[in-house]
Chain A
Amino acid sequence: DLTPEQQSLLHYIMDSYNRQCIPQYITRKLLQEDFSAEENFLLLTEMATSHVQVLVEFTKKLPGFQTLDHEDQIALLKGSAVEAMFLRSAEIFNRKMPHGHTDLLEERIRNSGMSDDYITPMFNFYKSLEELKMTQEEYSLLTAVVILTPDRQYIKDKESVEKLQEPLLEVLQKLCQVQHPENPQHFARLLGRLTELRTFNHHHAEMLMSWRVNDHKFTPLLCEIWDVQ
């Protein structure tokens, strides 16, 4: 079982993860705005921008993150943003959003100028996570593990990052054993999804290029975190 320290770490991560959500006024637009490719693109980039702010707030609260060198903090955020956002989007699709909204969001993504070459693998990934029946604890811990990944580009003090990631991996491994006793491979399968997330990360720049319908601009925060000119 989890030790008392591990229990409190888990509750802290969960609480911090659940506190952050995209503001209602943005999710409400999902239902209201019309369905042009242009409107969908603008709405999805507004949601993504809010998503990044949510991600930064969650990251700032990760145990030990504030002790890291500032440049390494930025490098961790930039290196993990795409993967953490894919995880969060998968959770939104698989768990959080009321059923009707999921269809609307999917409809908007499919009609926003993004190429099917990227949309199909994205929804297949969401489905693959749904099949894993991930719990909220697993989503929050896995997101924290993704953010505190030491082998990101430009990280100077990898060792310090590794020391922050290790306890989270230990809690996640124990949690998988407790929550999925029927599936001893569950933890390994979760880690396997991290490899898939890396692939999305590698192809993200191309996806963005294909998504820029009528040379729309991304917001300054998205340009910075996604390294888009």
Chain B
Amino acid sequence: DELSLLKKLLLSPANV
């Protein structure tokens, strides 16, 4: 299944 939104947020680089 396509990456869940949470997974996308978790995998994205930490933003300030």
Contacts and interface: CB of A to CB of B under 8 A. Distances in A.
Interface residues of A, number: 16
Interface of A: 19, 53, 56-57, 59-61, 70, 73-74, 77-78, 220-221, 224-225
B5 A74 contact: no
Contacts of B4: 74, 224
A22 to B, nearest CB: 14
Contacts of B15: 57
Interface of B: 4-7, 9-10, 14-16
B5 A221 contact: yes
A221 B9 CA distance: 10
23 contacts: A19-B16, A56-B6, A56-B10, A57-B9, A57-B14, A57-B15, A59-B10, A60-B14, A61-B14, A73-B10, A74-B7, A74-B10, A77-B6, A77-B10, A78-B6, A220-B5, A221-B5, A221-B6, A221-B9, A224-B4, A224-B5, A224-B6, A225-B6
Contacts of A220: 5
Contacts of A59: 10
A60 B10 contact: yes
Contacts of B9: 53, 56-57, 221
Contacts of A73: 10
Contacts of A56: 6, 9-10
